[in-house]
Amino acid sequence: MTTGEIPVDGAIDAHVHLMPDRLMVAIREALNDTAGWEFDHPTNREAIEGDLREHGIERYIALPYAHKPDIAADLNEWLLEEASNSEMCIPFATVHPADDVHAVVEAAFKNGARGLKFQCPVQEVAPDDPRLDPAYELCAKYDQPVLHHAGNAPMFEGSPHVGIERFQQFREQFPEVRACCAHMGTFEHEAFLDIARADENVYLDTSFAMATVVDHHVDFDPASIDDTIFEDLAGRVMYGSDYPNMPHSYEQEYEGLVRRDLSEMAFEALFREATEQFLGEGL
C-alpha cells in the first residue's frame, strides 16, 4: 500500500447517491442552478461501483430522496432492485412527508432497505416534523437507522427545516433510533459534535465537509475538525463522499483524512466500523 490510499480493508463509503437517470439529471440541474456546480462523474451503478472499487471501497450506502410526493415507493423499489444485483450496494429508502409515510417505509423495510434518508431542506421537512413519526417508529421496530441532511450547509442557512434545534427535538423524541447527520453537521458542526458526544446513537458523516477542496465551494475549513475528534468519537464518525454528486475528484474526499495522524483504531473506525455499527451489523 502506498501512502495516500485508504488504509483499511473492507472500507465503506456511507454517503453515495444512486438514482434513476431522469431524477439524477434533475437534481444536478438544481445544484448547478443554485450553486453553479458541474458534475463529471458517472450516474449508473456499474460505473459508480467501478470508480469506488478503484479507491478501495468495498461497500457503500446508497441514498435516495424524494423531492416531491408520490415518487418514493417507486424510487425505493428501483434502488432495492439495483442492490439485489450488487455486492457493494447497501440500499436506503426514502419517503416524502406528504406520502402515506407508514405504508411506504414499512414496504421498504420489508423488502430489504437498510435505513432511511431525508434530505431535509430539499424535501422541506425538518427532522422533528411529526409527519415523520411513523417513519421513526418503524426504524425502532425494524432496528434500522436514519440519515438526515440536517445541517444548514451548503446553501440552506435560511431554511426552517434544518439546524441543531430541529435535530435535537427529534433526538429527544426518538433516542433509541440511530441517526446520522450528514456533512459533519456543517455549518453548525460544533453543536452537532456536542450532540454526538452526549448521545451514543448519533453519528456524523464526513461527506463533502472534509474534502480537501471544500473551501472552494463553501465557507468551511476541514482543519476546524481536530484529529482528536476522530479518536474521541471513533465509531461514530463515518467516512462518506457524496459521490457522484460532487464537483471534485473522489481522492479529494479522503486524501486529507488519510494524511491525518490518527491511530489505526481511529482509521478502522472511520472507514469501516462506524458504518457497520450505524447499520446495526454485528452489534
Q: Contact region for Zn ion (CB under 5 A) — 98-106, 157-165, 237-245, 259-267?
A: 237-245
163, burial (CB in 10 Å: exposed 0-12, middle 13-18, buried 19+) = buried
CB-nearer residue toward Zn ion: 34 or 228: 34
Give buried/exposed letters for 58-71 (b at 16+ CB in 10 A, else e): ebbbbbbbbbeeeb
Min separation Cβ 207 and Zn ion, Å: 6
Stretch that binds Zn ion, among 22-30, 47-55, 79-87, 235-243 (CB under 5 A): 235-243
Identify residues 125-144 at the interface with Zn ion (CB under 5 A).
Answer: none
Min dist. Cβ of residue 77 to Zn ion (A): 21
Pairing of β 202-205 and β 237-238: parallel
In the bound state with Zn ion, the residue whose beta carbon lies nearer, of 180 and 266, is 180
For Zn ion, the closer of residues 250 and 266 by Cβ is: 250
In the bound complex, what is the minimum distance in angstroms from residue 2's beta carbon to Zn ion?
29
CB of 17 to Zn ion, least distance (A): 6
CB of 192 to Zn ion, least distance (A): 16
Contact 18, 64 (CB under 8 A): yes
Which of 13, 242 has the CB closer to Zn ion?
242
Strand order in the sheet with 57-62: 11-16, 57-62, 89-91
> For Zn ion, which is the closer residue by CB, 21 or 172?
21
Q: Is 272 exposed, middle or buried (0-12, 13-18, 19+ CB in 10 A)?
A: buried
Pick the binder of Zn ion from 49, 242, 268, 273 (CB under 5 A). 242
Task: State in angstroms the smallest separation of the CB of 103 from Zn ion.
Answer: 26
- The sheet with strand 202-205 has its strands ordered as 116-119, 146-149, 179-181, 202-205, 237-238
Using Cβ positions, the residue closest to Zn ion within the complex turns out to be 242
In angstroms, what is the minimal distance from the CB of 209 to Zn ion? 11
Q: What end-to-end distance do the CA atoms of the chain give, in Å?
A: 30
Q: Which is nearer to Zn ion, 99 or 242 (CB)?
A: 242
Nearer to Zn ion, 230 or 243 (CB): 243
Q: Does 13 bind Zn ion (CB under 5 A)?
A: no
Q: Could you list the residues that contact Zn ion (CB under 5 A)?
A: 242
